[in-house]
Amino acid sequence: MTKLLRIDASARTSRSLTRSLADKFTESWLARRSDDEIILRDVGSNPPPSITEDWIAAAFAKERSSEQEELLAVSDEMIAEIANADIIVMATPMYNYGMPAALKAWFDQVVRVDKTFTFDLARGDAPLEPVFAGKTLVLLTSWGEFGFGPGEINEGRDSLTPHVRTASGYLGVEEFHHVGIEYQEFGDDRFEASREAAIAALDPLIDRLASALELLPGARRSAA
């Protein structure tokens, strides 16, 4: 059984384009692989707490007080969800050219020394190494503007996808896929075409990922 961790980061619970992409992804996934498990973590509706000085001290403590254990309880719970997951489906808007604060709070809580990464200066100028390996991240985005690619009108302004990609490396993500909607703020034909293209990209991606997992017999039939 494959486990998917679905993370929703939109502050909107209605009319959210990223939540609708994640709905379609998880529905199509379960249509092919009904025995798989989907774990839900809605940071948009329930933002994790920001880390504090006490939290950092607790994270780096060699021996912890019960208060420090308590401070790390949310982090422990969310890291356990990542440890269990083969595939992370992360649905997030672009807010102010980067990730929503709630998603950044999630990363700050889960990229944690000796839990998700180790730090050893004996490794020279690259002292950080992830603890987990072999995970896949499917990033589902929506943004209001468009043209963040090379040579386009907003080149260099996308701080969302590179940040997610870099930080997720410390969670054991080795395979990265991105499907996104553009033009939301324009609401015109370009937006509709972009939304349709993003939706159309989901099934082929699911087929590729599911095939790589060596489909179960029942799932193979439903995918055919």
Residues contributing to the site for ligand FMN (CB under 6 A): 10, 12, 16-19, 93-97, 142-145, 184
- Burial track 134-153 (b if 16+ CB lie within 10 A, e otherwise): ebbbbbbbbbebbebeeeee
Give least dist CB 194 to ligand FMN, A. 11
Of 12 and 123, the one with the shorter C-beta distance to ligand FMN is 12
What are the structure tokens assigned to 205, written together? 């991606």
Spatial separation of the C-alpha atoms in residues 62 and 130, rounded to whole Å: 19
Q: Which of 21, 6, 223 is nearest to 142 (CA)?
A: 21
Give least dist CB 198 to ligand FMN, A. 11
Of 12 and 208, the one with the shorter C-beta distance to ligand FMN is 12
- Could you tell me which residues come within 8 angstroms of residue 87 by beta carbon, excluding any fewer than 6 positions away? 2, 3, 4, 5, 135, 136, 137, 138, 209
Phi/psi at 68 (nearest 5 deg)?
A: -70, -40
Of 97 and 107, the one with the shorter C-beta distance to ligand FMN is 97
Of 85 and 140, the one with the shorter C-beta distance to ligand FMN is 140
Give least dist CB 185 to ligand FMN, A. 6
- Could you tell me which residues come within 8 angstroms of residue 28 by beta carbon, excluding any fewer than 6 positions away? 202, 203, 206
- Could you tell me which residues come within 8 angstroms of residue 129 by beta carbon, excluding any fewer than 6 positions away? 117, 118, 120, 123
Give least dist CB 10 to ligand FMN, A. 4
Of 12 and 221, the one with the shorter C-beta distance to ligand FMN is 12
Give least dist CB 139 to ligand FMN, A. 13
Q: Report which residue's Cβ sits closest to ligand FMN.
A: 93
Spatial separation of the C-alpha atoms in residues 108 and 43, rounded to whole Å: 13
Give least dist CB 7 to ligand FMN, A. 12
Of 48 and 93, the one with the shorter C-beta distance to ligand FMN is 93
